[in-house]
Structure 1
């Protein structure tokens, strides 16, 4: 039985995976949605980037999981990518869902225009959640947008600005990158570099950046096929 550890992106908690996790369980897998420190029901807990990496490692070890697929969405690709190198033989695969890819020594905000985000973090200590209009064009219904906005919490700023620490190259691990096409036609930057590895595959999904809301069943199918084949 495959154990999927599901980690949502900035501002979100494990609740974001409810529908996708349910579909994975119906397919015979175990699904473990994880809320990182400082978010959702863990709001108020202090967190830096390595706190989030340790959250993931601790969950795998606490549950004594084997045959683990670590799934990182958006920001959470950064801690998931680091955690993947730290759980050893427990790891079966890494899956990035339209995710940031960690680069050793660089932060989650490196490589893309982020001055406004950095200024907000410097002022308040948090990365502010998006507002409803900022979700336009991402394949989401008004109801889905409201659900995301209502469930979002300010994201601990240090997790986005502190540098990643990779213990081994991600390119040496088995992986899948899921590119959500409404958020750009193809992976770029560190994601494009990673996909040059013959151990990584690219899967396109015709939806926006939050597929666990817009296309949860299809995302679950992709996750299932990443370990089981079509």
Structure 2
């Protein structure tokens, strides 16, 4: 239908048991080259934090349900705001500013403060703009495999040429200026570590994404003047963007944050919110704690 590249972006150490511990090792995640069970993530003493979790494209606030439940079970306070054009909102004619306003209004209406603001994927651009408007309320910004745009950029500017061309074709073919992911693309790039059955279950919840916010250029000068502490959570099996050659999450996006804390895990873009929420919850905690 359109020329998406089918290349696979492989982790550079096929034999995980020889992974260099200085970079990818986490005592909560890895032991003797095998994944630990979910129970290992049920840690006892944690600093109590408040999280505001912002989802990305082709998702809604329910994306966080399992992760939020784990965080709450460990004593944290968790909010998962929905934003314009998503969830039950039937209006797909939205702008990035409308999306940002949804989250800012949620925060101010509940008078939230001293919270960790997490953005996933497209949600990274949302928390960049939210942080400009309510900087004094935010304890730390956490980007999980999320876009960190430069001033004047759009999300589309950070897509590989084949992906951008494909999205433009899907947008042009829609009746309401949206983009719907074809299942083969979703399966290979978003849920590459899932079983086929898991991938199909997750795809059943995918709805068309408003296209306009993905192509809007954002003014971000104020964001880059903020002193807010920042973290980046990078999952090295995330195949949504090619890693390297001027694209990808880490270090391409992450190093734009200046000084930041790096937390690394072994998942993909979507799957672990369903299959290993305790692992993801622990990574977000590590990124957000003092």
The alignment's TM-score, normalised by the length of structure 2, stands at 0.71
Shift of 1:179: 0.7
CA distance in 2, matches of 1:123, 1:171: 40
Task: Pick the aligned partner of 1:86 from 133, 142, 151.
Answer: 133
Task: Within 5 Å, give how 1:201-216 maps onto structure 2.
Answer: 201-210=261-270, 211-216=272-277
Higher helix share: 1
Change in 2 beyond 3 A, CA 1:131/1:96? same
- Residues 140, 213 of structure 1: 8 Å contact kept: no
Match of residue 128 from structure 1: 180
Q: Deviations over 1:121-144 (max 9, x none)?
A: 244211213415632462223343
- 1:118 matched to 2:179? The reply is no
- Residues 207, 214 of structure 1: 8 Å contact kept: no
- 1:191 matched to 2:254? The reply is yes
- Residues 8, 16 of structure 1: 8 Å contact kept: yes
- 1:68 matched to 2:129? The reply is no
What count of residue pairs does the alignment treat as equivalent? 226
Q: Secondary structure at the match of 2:157?
A: coil
C-alpha RMSD over aligned residues: 2.1
Q: Deviations over 1:138-179 (max 9, x none)?
A: 222334322321111111111101111222317732111111
CA distance in 2, matches of 1:170, 1:53: 19
Change in 2 beyond 3 A, CA 1:133/1:108? closer
Q: Could you tell me which runs of 5 or more consecutive residues in structure 1 were left unpaired when the two chains were aligned.
A: none
Q: Deviations over 1:25-68 (max 9, x none)?
A: 11111111122211222232531111111111111111110112
Bigger radius of gyration: 2
Q: Could you tell me which runs of 5 or more consecutive residues in structure 2 were left unpaired when the two chains were aligned.
A: 1-47, 244-248
